[in-house]
Chain A
Amino acid sequence: MKYILFGLFIFNSIWVSGQNILEYKFKGSEESKPLSQVLNEISDTEGARFFFLPDWIEDIQVDKDYSGKTLEEVLNILFDGKELGFISMYPDALVIIKDPSNAIKRKQAIQTALSQDSKIDNYRFGSPDQMQRGKNVTISGKVIDIKTEEPLPYTNVQVTDTDAIVTTDEQGNFEVELAPGSHVLKFSYIDYDPTIIDLTAYTNGVVNVEMEKQSVLLDEIIIQGQANQEMATSRIGETQLVMKELKRAPAFLGEVDLIKQVQILPGVTTVGEAASGFNVRGGSVDQNLILYDGLPVFNSSHVFGFLSAFNSDAISEVSFFRGGTPAKYGGRISSVLDIQSKDGDFQGWHVKAGIGMVTSSLMVDGPLKKNKTSISTSLRSTYSNWLIHSIDTDYADLSNSSVSFYDGMIKVAHKVDKDTKVSVSGYASHDSFSLSGDSTYRWNNLQISGRLDHRFNNNLDGEFIVGMSSYGYSVLNNDYLTASELSFRINTLTLKAALYTKKGSHKLNYGWQFSHNKFKPGSLEPTSDQSSARFVDLDKQYAIESAFYVGDEIELNPYLFLEAGLRLPLFINFGPGEVIKYESGQPVEVTTATDTSSYGSFQPIKAFLRFEPRISMRLMTSANSSIKFGYNRMFQYLHLVSNSTAVTPVDIWQPSGYYFKPQRADQVSLGFFKDFKEKKYGTSVEGFYKYMNDIIDFKDGAELVLNPHIETELLQGKGRSYGLEFSLFKNSGRLSGSLNYTYSRSFRTISGPTEVESINDGKEYPSNFDQPHILNITWKYNLSRRYYFTGGFTYHTGRPVTIPLSAFKLENTTVAYFSERNQYRIPDYHRLDLALVIEGNHKKTKKWKGNWVISVYNVYSRKNPYTIFFKNSENGIPKPNQLSIVGTIFPSISYNITF
């Protein structure tokens, strides 16, 4: 990258003709004069302004008679072969610059901006005489949404003439160091119109940028969030998801889904078609931290995972970290999905409604008090009962079955003053599921949070969150003889304080997070007088998790960026409670129980203090490529206890404590990223190795529901996973798309002191999520500005399963002989989806906008196995069966409207 210094002569006069100076025609009298003299003359006579450094052109003479030719033509001839270029900034101004590659870029940037009708703002700081030779100037500022005034984090700030890129931080602040002189800054943020700043700076200055949401669809749409950000973003393994793009991808039943979008990112897999949650780099589903407005979400799905519990209309931004996780996040060892809800518009009211085959949604937002207070609310509900009733099945009479769910959010944001904003948000989701009137499954999430954002001074921003969340489920058994209700609940109180400050090249963020968790691990209550159900109520469990963290982002030089962090989590599992003790040296089993210790209220049972170093680095190897490195250690204190591969609504969350050590993961990742051709194409390769300790697996034949001795059914051991992720994308032109391929493996080793405390004799075995080959391709082809095809293809290796190999007779019954754990695989998964999107009229003036999405899911009717299970035949021999959830082609249509 070349930085060039501008020392400029400024000619001040007025260009009156209204013509572009480049069209000035030579008269012939200029022949044999030095170019500088000619330009001065033109300047005098025509009132134009030329900017140049005299020594660049002192050896250039107007070598012959150019009468009749324009200034542009003459300059092109004279500069041919020389490292000089020129651009006309205004009709009356012309700048001559050295290093034509930069010149061309500036020229292009401004011309592109002009042709796209982009917003161009002018800024000028200081004058040439204030310039200090050899010293750069610093331009800082803040990027906000012009309407909501929300800061826009991770906005790209590109210095178009040098290719340098910085991004704004969480508060929308940025800082860029430039050579004194003129530059063009391009601000781009997904879904927003780019903003161009024409900047001339000889001293430090502040540029505040207001960006406006795109009201017209651009031709260049990025299929995946990572597309133009991967290079710019500071961290390895981070992805920003684009909510808008989600809505145009083909979707099952036409329902757009956030979690489904996560599932196609590199390094992410899912165990089945409709499995809720996702597996990141060989980790289990519970190892993903899902935050909604800063509070943890324990079950992110509707209808066992067909849909995620978040209405994508109500989400403003989503960050996903699978490596290089900042110190700010902790408590889960695989990944972080941080979801922020939308503030309402502070300027005007909007209504958005979507009608699909299964759900309908409504979102309303607007100002309660203009520029001061806004409200945003959304509701989504289902009317899928028709679907159930219309489906023919051999399994049950579904006419009195029902499925219902809803989710809703409300958020009120209030700007106290220019430095302070307060918001309160509430979120609720509920599912109810009943089959043949026999049992009803219900689960729900409820959370309320308050947040205060305050800018203490130019150098210190703060973010404070207080919130409560509650997740629970119940299974109602309606059979009058055994009528009962099984229930489970976790209540969490969360407090968070985060501060952001900067000093020189350091950007610091530090804070404290606290949560108090109360677990009701299970109770069974008879619900009728005749019921034979036995009352069971397992003891409640209590735990707190508190963490201090500090992170420092350091711009060591324009090429090297470093982020280092440290997190100190403290986890205490405390009373009231009882701990059963077992004979030492014996396996932990009911038969080896010796006595019970009681703990009083707030008496610690077990405490864990850990430390988690985090580091992430980026080295720019050229203007378009970089090498990134990340290392993080993370601990997890809450474990989802499940002996099925898929998440079911009756799984139990178990805190660490006397018998369960926190899970630990250490991950290193290294990647290479490169953009080609003005960022039209990009590619990346990223490798990782993850080592996990004290991960939980269950004993063969474990019983987990309502088990008061759950420690006797679970084992802890080691895990490791590694992989290589390739990504290729093209984000402009008629055809855009992305291709992600991952090769990865994931293993577990559970080797206890005795055979019963080991799995597969203590040998390493593939984890449930070991899917070596994963390929995801998405594309979009524009037929016209309003019609386009989108599509997606997914392939992954079938996950490991344990299957019966044979059967044998034992004491008059037939028993299956199973393989060692996870030694076989279900058939590979692959699926093709297509959609046609018809956008409505895009005129800015139109009162409402709509779009149709006609999608076809599973185009070639592949019967992908969701799970393998074994049904005993009449003579007791188990026969393997595969269950396909969507075993057929499934078309759907949906319409979205905004006004």
Chain B
Amino acid sequence: MKKRTVILLVYSLTFFLGCVDSINFEVPPADEQIVVEGSITTDPGPYTVKVTKALDLNEDTVRASPVEQMKVVLHDDIGNSEDFVETLPGVYVTNGAMQGEVGRSYHITMETIDGKKYESESDELFPVGEITDIRYEYEARLKDEGFGEITDDVFNIYVDSEAGVSDENYVRWKFRGLYKVETNPELKVEILPAYPIPRPIPLPCSGYIVLPGPGNRLGKVDECTCCTCYAYQYEEYPQLSDDQLVSGNQFNNIKVAEVPIDVGTFYEKYLVTIEQMSMTRNAFDFFRLVRSQKTNASSIFQPPSGEIRGNVKPTNNNDTVIGLFWATSIKKKSMYIYREDVPYPLTEKFLVPDACYNFYPNSSTFKPAEWD
């Protein structure tokens, strides 16, 4: 409702001779800001902390440059600690000596090679209730694509769960979707100018080559290594418990995600995983601001998004640090939705003449353990 309202207002004001131009502000350089992301859970480690630099708004890439060679240490509130080890540039992991326990508080300390120190505020690990039920419901939708309406059907995912025993019921439902797709990289062609027939250029990973001789025939010489992918789908913004009133210590009928229905996502089946996560108010406020920014994006009357800072603070300098190191209990529940559950037959084939990981976002040929 809100989103629609807001977008329409954009039209209404712009047609009055309005015009939209991009504008630049003089802002401090982005690479002076350090971004920290990490958590400790009740699941066994290793736990990861990623440290990157913020992205300049004018940058076209979203590849954040890593902050390397830091000394990162995990601490609890009774004096235990464990060092993180840098396994990839900017990615620091523990080796599993410490595991999150309900009731303990955790924080990290960080030091760069030039001696700048940062520290996260201590974050308590709260218990979390079980997800008692997870289910889906089909919803028919249309979307206006400018040239006409197209179907935009979804499965809405709902959960029922226990709210947990803590007084502070800050809960997040983290959604993750996983689906299998197949593509046909052997059918890739190129169209040359002044050459009427497309020329096949099968990708080497497809296992096919163009056979010598006339007719551009394809021949299989090896197994395809880029035809089958497993693609993840992530939530657009965090789902939080703040607009849900707890009744009888239960969260009921909470809509936690939408799974788009198309030939790709339902090539075979779709794995929905919901993690119910406990958190402190600090972590909750951080995710709440992220959510509000994501839901209000691009509207002309958008309310100013708040400054998202998190709980990592510099201790011997005045750098701007954005980021959160938080402690959480996780209760997980998964289910498959099958192609047959879509109440109408989906188009049989959707030919993608490219490597699967090039075409589908967040995909790889690696088969995740959770898929069967």
Q: A residues touching B (Cβ–Cβ < 8 Å)?
A: 274, 303-304, 306, 387-388, 391, 393, 395-396, 398, 401, 433, 435-436, 438-439, 441, 475, 477, 481, 484, 486, 524, 532-533, 589-591, 593, 643-646, 648, 650, 698-703, 705-706, 755-756, 760, 801-822, 824, 827, 863, 865-872, 875-888, 890
Contacts and interface: CB of A to CB of B under 8 A. Distances in A.
Nearest to B31: A806
A646 B237 CA distance: 27
A439 B16 contact: no
A883 B14 contact: yes
A589 B242 CA distance: 8
Given A387-B16, A590-B244, A805-B54, 15 more contacts: A393-B14, A401-B15, A481-B140, A486-B1, A593-B245, A699-B306, A804-B57, A807-B54, A808-B35, A816-B57, A818-B305, A818-B306, A820-B307, A867-B301, A878-B297
Contacts of B244: 590
A881 B244 CA distance: 34
A870 B307 contact: no
Contacts of A702: 292, 303
Nearest to B232: A812
Given A433-B12, A805-B27, A810 B300 contact: no
A590 B251 CA distance: 13
Contacts of A438: 4, 8
A388 B15 contact: yes
Interface in B22-43: 22-25, 27-28, 30, 33, 35, 37
Contact of B15 (A395, A533, A814): A395
B359 interface: no
B27 A877 contact: no
Contacts of A805: 27-28, 30, 33, 54, 57
A438 B143 CA distance: 12
Interface residues of B, number: 78
A306 B14 CA distance: 12
Contacts of A820: 307
Contacts of A532: 139
A887 B298 contact: no
Nearest to B32: A806
Given A393-B11, A591-B170, A879 B234 contact: no
Contacts of A648: 9, 301
B234 A881 contact: no
A700 B304 contact: yes
Nearest to B361: A812
B243 interface: yes
B241 interface: yes
B56 interface: yes
Contacts of A801: 304
Nearest to A768: B304
Given A274-B13, A395-B10, A803-B25, A818 B293 contact: yes
Contacts of A887: 17-19
A887 B299 CA distance: 19
B275 to A, nearest CB: 12
List 10 tightest A-B contacts by C-beta distance, closest first: A700-B306, A701-B292, A802-B304, A806-B30, A643-B303, A644-B301, A806-B54, A808-B35, A887-B19, A807-B55
Contacts of B35: 808-810
Nearest to B168: A591
A274 B290 CA distance: 31
Contacts of A590: 242-245
Given A703-B2, A810-B290, A875-B62, A881 B243 contact: no
Contacts of B15: 388, 391, 393, 395-396, 398, 401
Contacts of A398: 11, 15
B306 A821 contact: yes
Contacts of A433: 12
A650 B4 CA distance: 12
B120 interface: no
B360 to A, nearest CB: 14
B39 to A, nearest CB: 10
Given A706-B1, A808-B55, A304 B290 contact: no
Given A701-B289, A867-B300, A885-B18, A810 B245 contact: no
A820 B27 CA distance: 13
14 contacts: A274-B16, A303-B16, A436-B11, A439-B4, A439-B8, A700-B289, A760-B307, A806-B54, A809-B55, A818-B307, A821-B306, A869-B10, A871-B298, A881-B23
Interface string B296-328: 111111111111100000000000001100000
B1 A484 contact: yes
A484 B362 CA distance: 37
B55 A700 contact: no
A754 to B, nearest CB: 8
Contacts of B21: 863, 881-882, 884
Nearest to B234: A812
Contacts of B27: 803, 805-806, 819, 824
Nearest to A436: B11
B60 interface: yes
A335 to B, nearest CB: 24
A525 B17 CA distance: 34
Nearest to A387: B16
A856 B245 CA distance: 56
A885 B139 CA distance: 38
A475 B5 contact: yes
B138 to A, nearest CB: 12
B4 A817 contact: no
Contact of B293 (A701, A879, A882): A701
Contacts of A755: 285
Contact of A865 (B2, B23, B296): B23
A883 B292 CA distance: 22
B298 A827 contact: no
B88 interface: no
B294 A869 contact: no
A867 B21 CA distance: 11
Contacts of A827: 23
Question: Looking at A755, A805, A883, which has the most chain B CB atoms within 10 Å of its CB?
Answer: A805
B11 A881 contact: no
A650 B16 contact: no
B180 interface: no
Contacts of B23: 827, 865, 868, 880-882
A395 B302 contact: no
Interface string B56-92: 1101111010000000000000000000000000000
A438 B12 CA distance: 12
Given A702-B303, A803-B27, A877 B57 contact: yes
B117 interface: no
Nearest to B300: A869
Given A701-B305, A818-B308, A887-B17, A813 B37 contact: no
Nearest to B141: A481
Contact of A808 (B19, B64, B299, B303): B64
B8 A435 contact: yes
Contacts of B37: 809-811
A553 B279 CA distance: 63
Contacts of B307: 700, 760, 817-821
A591 B169 contact: yes
A885 B16 contact: yes
Given A388-B15, A591-B168, A815 B308 contact: yes
Contacts of B10: 395, 869, 883
A731 B57 CA distance: 52
Contact of B25 (A524, A700, A810, A824): A824
B54 A886 contact: no
B20 interface: yes
B11 A396 contact: yes
A869 B307 CA distance: 16
B197 interface: no
Nearest to A819: B307
